[in-house]
Structure 1
Amino acid sequence: MMYSEAILDYANSKRFRGKLDDATVIEEGKNISCGDEITLYLKVEDGVVKDAKFEGMGCVISQASASLMLERIVGERVEEIFSLIEEAEKMSRGENFDEGKLKNVTLMSDIKNYPARVKCFILAWKTLKEALKKISRS
């Protein structure tokens, strides 16, 4: 079910919402086809995401995806996060993916059945990839 109670809880959660004043990188992402927007704030120290927040507006799917994603990546090494992004992309396309790596993100594994909503799900992940590229280059 695309709008399960758990997904609605993540979409409405305040846990990862807001700005990080000491963010190492800030990245904005927009889905121009539907208007979803997200701004990611990541604090990275010694190659590890120590804290993360987001601000955004948009549908339940985009907001829940951002919340689930940040829950999954805080505490992870940047190099590992690139593989998590790849697994999330596979999941969204309906390909085989490593459920163990994604943990709670698999709450949204049905997204593959809603092609029009895949862009909503993947927005946060694409924004994260761009943010991490900036960190990797610095």
Structure 2
Amino acid sequence: MSFNANLDTLYRQVIMDHYKNPRNKGSLEDSITIDMNNPTCGDRIHLTLNIENGVVKDAKFDGEGCSISMASASMMTQAIKGQEVDTALKLSKIFSDMMQGKDYDDSIDLGDIEALAGVSKFPARIKCATLSWKAMEKGVSQE
């Protein structure tokens, strides 16, 4: 088995782990609430954010959709918790560039998010992967 095939298998496993065992699933009280959906495929997300003094103190999501959409939401909430809003937005820009197949800033460790890089090869799935990130951008702009 080639290195790339092993990497693809690992990435699929990471995505399925986040889908089957989502991190930060649920809802927060007294929070910024964002509801978004992707009418093309039926993915929907309910994102709640607690932001204090320019820092994302907590983030939770609920919703339904494909494995890529839900795994991306799980990874996104993990990545932004404890980050300054500016850093969360920078992560979103990096993720967007990665989804578009562009060169992206690799100065920040993306962790599990890197597993979604292959989605860029499937244009119809990019909206699935970016839905939660768009919700987060909308949410932090309400702060």
1:48 to 2:50 alignment: no
- Decide whether the 8 Å contact of 1:68 with 1:104 is kept in 2: yes
RMSD: 1.4
The 3 A distance-change label for structure 1 pair 14 and 87 is: closer
Q: Which letter maps to 1:87?
A: I
Q: 1:20 aligns with which of 7, 21, 28?
A: 28
Q: Mean Cα displacement is larger for which, 99-108 or 111-120?
A: 99-108
Q: Which letter maps to 2:131?
A: L
Q: Return 5+ residue gaps in structure 2 as ranges.
A: 1-7
Please give the alpha-carbon distance, in whole angstroms, between the structure 1 residues aligned to 2:22 and 2:96: 25
Offset, 1:15 = 2.7
Q: Return 5+ residue gaps in structure 1 as ranges.
A: none
Please give the alpha-carbon distance, in whole angstroms, between the structure 2 residues aligned to 1:129 and 1:48: 14
Q: TM-score, normalised by structure 1?
A: 0.91
Offset, 1:38 = 0.2
SS of structure 2 residue aligned to 1:99: coil
Larger radius of gyration: 2
Offset, 1:10 = 0.5
Q: TM-score, normalised by structure 2?
A: 0.88
Equivalence for 1:93:
100
Equivalence for 1:10:
18
Please give the alpha-carbon distance, in whole angstroms, between the structure 2 residues aligned to 1:34 and 1:73: 26
1:118 to 2:109 alignment: no
Q: Which letter maps to 1:108?
A: L
Please give the alpha-carbon distance, in whole angstroms, between the structure 2 residues aligned to 1:74 and 1:14: 15
SS of structure 2 residue aligned to 1:20: coil
Please give the alpha-carbon distance, in whole angstroms, between the structure 2 residues aligned to 1:88 and 1:15: 18
